[in-house]
Chain A
Amino acid sequence: MEGKGKGKGYAVSHEGLRKLFDLLSSEYELVGPALKEGVISYKVLRSFEELPFGCKSMELAGYYAVEKADGYFTYVRPSNSLKTFLHPPELTIMRVKRENGKLSFEYEYPDKKYCFFDVRACDLSALKVLDMVFLHKNKNPDPYYASLREKVFIVAVNCTNHTNTCFCTTMGTGPEVKEGYDFLITELDGRFLLEEGSERGRRLLESLENKEEARQEDYEEKERRLKKVESSMKRAFETEGLKERLYGRMEESFWEPVGKRCLACTACTQSCPTCFCFDLLERASLDVSERVRVWDSCFSPSFATLHRFNLRQSVHSRYRQWLMHKFAYWLDQFGTFGCVGCGRCISWCPAGIDLREEVKRVAYG
């Protein structure tokens, strides 16, 4: 597992980053952002050239476009999240076979060794949240998640830009990466600051040739760049006491306005880096039955259906469940907010609903 950070620092060129990428790709399956059909998304990368350097996403509620920008790590977190790899959208978890009148049970654990190359502060917080959900605050730690998670190598990147839907400063998760990485990259003017975050991160950076030790000015420039992003982001709402305020707003009337606008399409929950809900399906035939775990959503009509009766028939009751979970119930369950302020649910809502506006309206309106 990655360490606490704040280790030794080096400065490298663009070429140094490529070397690191190649070193990592010899040992890990590399997952990083790439531009595909006009959208920056996490995918398995085959080469360093796939990284969307010099691209920047212009995002609004229900709107997404990519434009050019000066620099390298000019984009923000990708459109999809890392749960795609640690909690895959579809995973066969068990197979039951009948042979000669006897049943046998086979369990399959995913066996992949990922390196997440280019993880931003919001998504590092999201990983911490998922770790709590699946492992640390779970009486039955999830072996499927654990088998993938324990091997992950994390290359974090400090954001030196933001988009309109980002609100990490509100949720206290960014833009600065503080912990939970193996090494950290910050783009400076013409060079990149690398900081060790773990023992294996230290060993890797040590093995890299053509690097300089970081100077005091490099750290100062990093601070300046982070300050600049942070000061350009508006605080969306007050989080202190938010849970208590929301518990006082459970009546239908607070939620009906958003229920009218919401398509209940599930896009918010699926693009959310911490939404973890799943369904278990049985794919049966006469001799083999597969149990498959698939992503589910509290917006799906079958989600709260018990004995063929749906407890949350109205769309507004589903929206309430979702928002309350992120900003209130989650605190009671896991001790943190379920929201990390990445803003994906805002950008990728085809109805153009802005979660920040709904929190403000319901809690503070």
Chain B
Amino acid sequence: MKVGVFKFSSCDGCQLAFFELEEEFLSLAEVLSIEYFLEASSENRWTDFDLAFVEGSISTPEEEDRIRKIRENSKILIAIGACAVSGGIQSARNYEDFQEIFTGIYRGRVSFEIKPHSRPISDFVKVDLEIRGCPINREHLRNTIYSLLIGLRPELPAYPLCLECKRKGNACVVVSKGQLCLGPITCTGCGALCPSFGRGCYGCFGPSEKPNYEAFYEMARRLGIEEKELKVALRLSFNGYNPALREVL
């Protein structure tokens, strides 16, 4: 199985999940044939790929061309992480005046062309699978690779964080602390990390399947949080430009 790992606008953090597999990664490297992975090797070969893992969002015209080429050369394309799946934290700019940010912050001192929006991979090409999170969970990566090797369709959770949070034995921070938590509308995958340490979920794994926003806004109102404030939290959730979330923002 020929594998490529690619990076677009992102922090490189999700690719680290491969190395977090430690020795298992080395034994996997014997079964898989890793042809292209800049972060792992100085020897890279552009070829046809059975499996392309893509990190990062599309935020320049060059990236748009490159993702189309990768798609043409790949059998299965897997978006990894909140940037590739939703546009990442950098997609917060999609809700602002781009010219104002560009001239105000960068003062025009950028030598390449930037698109006004940071978009997920799926806005440009067909994505076969998504591994969510900021960063992704190495167990999800592991599960995906083994499933594909065995010939199973990888199954990653699409249900809300609350289910995993309860399995962990946490008391709900909304109920017991009156804190805002994006858990009820966020896909799980992190092991309910933030609520396990007594704080509300940030939304790193993006929207769960068909969240009930109306009920969520009502929950926030009961906590004394206005819809405007809530929308800012969602835009800054690393997944604010997820196709399912941008419709309601």
CA distance A271 to B171 in the complex (A): 10
Q: Please pick, from A64, A260, A262, A270, the residue contacting B175 in the complex, using a CB distance under 8 A.
A: A64
**Do A37 and B146 have beta carbons less than 8 Å apart?**
no
Contacts A37-B198, A315-B212 hold; do A62 and B167 have CB atoms under 8 A apart? no
Residue of B nearest to A266 (CB): B163
Q: Report, as a range, how many residues of chain B touch the other chain.
A: 35 or more
Q: Which of B124-157 contact A (CB under 8 A)?
A: 142-143, 146-147, 149-150, 152, 155, 157
Residue of B nearest to A59 (CB): B175
CA distance A313 to B209 in the complex (A): 10
* Chain B residues within 8 Å of A147, by CB: none
**Do B166 and A79 have beta carbons less than 8 Å apart?**
no
CA distance A90 to B157 in the complex (A): 15
* Chain B residues within 8 Å of A263, by CB: 160, 162, 184-185, 211-212, 215-216, 219
CA distance A300 to B155 in the complex (A): 14
**Do A261 and B218 have beta carbons less than 8 Å apart?**
yes
Q: Which of B180-219 contact A (CB under 8 A)?
A: 181, 183-185, 198, 208-212, 214-216, 218-219
* Chain B residues within 8 Å of A285, by CB: 24, 142, 146
Q: Which of B16-48 contact A (CB under 8 A)?
A: 24, 27, 31
Cβ distance A36 to chain B, nearest Cβ, rounded Å: 8
**Do B208 and A301 have beta carbons less than 8 Å apart?**
yes
CA distance A209 to B9 in the complex (A): 72
Cβ distance B236 to chain A, nearest Cβ, rounded Å: 21
Q: Please pick, from B24, B169, B219, the residue contacting A350 in the complex, using a CB distance under 8 A.
A: B219
Cβ distance B149 to chain A, nearest Cβ, rounded Å: 7
Q: Most chain-A CB neighbours within 10 Å: which of B162, B184, B214?
A: B162
CA distance A37 to B177 in the complex (A): 10
**Do B167 and A295 have beta carbons less than 8 Å apart?**
yes
Contacts A270-B162, A284-B146, A286-B149 hold; do A265 and B167 have CB atoms under 8 A apart? no
CB of A170 within 8 A of chain B?
A: no
**Do A262 and B212 have beta carbons less than 8 Å apart?**
yes
**Do B184 and A347 have beta carbons less than 8 Å apart?**
no
* Chain A residues within 8 Å of B181, by CB: 350
* Chain A residues within 8 Å of B146, by CB: 284-286
Return 5 A-B CB contacts under 8 Å, by A number. A64-B176, A284-B147, A300-B160, A350-B172, A351-B215
Measured CB to CB, the residues of B under 8 A from A are: 24, 27, 31, 142-143, 146-147, 149-150, 152, 155, 157-160, 162-163, 166-169, 171-172, 174-177, 181, 183-185, 198, 208-212, 214-216, 218-219, 222
